[in-house]
Amino acid sequence: MLFARLASTTLLASVFILALSLSFGAPRTWAAIGNVVQRGNVIFVYDEKGKQLFTKPAGSGKDDGLKGYTSGTVNIRRGSVIYTYDDKGRQVFTKPAGR
């Protein structure tokens, strides 16, 4: 009985420590987007320290270009489509652009 209680307590403590390390101590494996600028027909994406992460074409239509960004994504309109890219420049989503 004592052994079972001790094992149960040890298991709970291990799970708690693992949960803490995953939520607070896990290293960040992505670069947060810090700034995005459009210069002509090119969009430049920078991290929080000003290092360039990637560039994308902005398109050439009157409504084309940078539509917005967060710390994790960039939205760019080209033609009738809005493209969403992650912090590595990978396309993660598309949707039709409204008028």
Who's near 99: CB < 8 A, 6+ residues apart?
Answer: none
Report, at the CATH architecture level, how domain 33-96 is classified: Beta Barrel (2.40)
What integer pLDDT is reported at residue 10 of this predicted model? 54
Give, rounded to a whole angstrom, the gap between the first and last alpha carbons of the chain. Answer: 70
Q: Are 81 and 65 in contact (CB under 8 A)?
A: no
Q: What are the pLDDT digits (tens) for 29-68?
A: 668 999 999 999 999 999 999 999 999 999 999 999 999 9
Q: Please state the rounded mean pLDDT for residues 71-79.
A: 97
CA–CA dist 46, 54 (Å, integer):
7
Amino acid type, 81: V
Q: What are the pLDDT digits (tens) for 3-13?
A: 555 445 555 55
pTM of the entire predicted model: 0.70
Domain range list for the chain: 33-96
Q: Are 66 and 76 in contact (CB under 8 A)?
A: yes
Q: Which residue has the higher pLDDT, 72 or 17?
A: 72
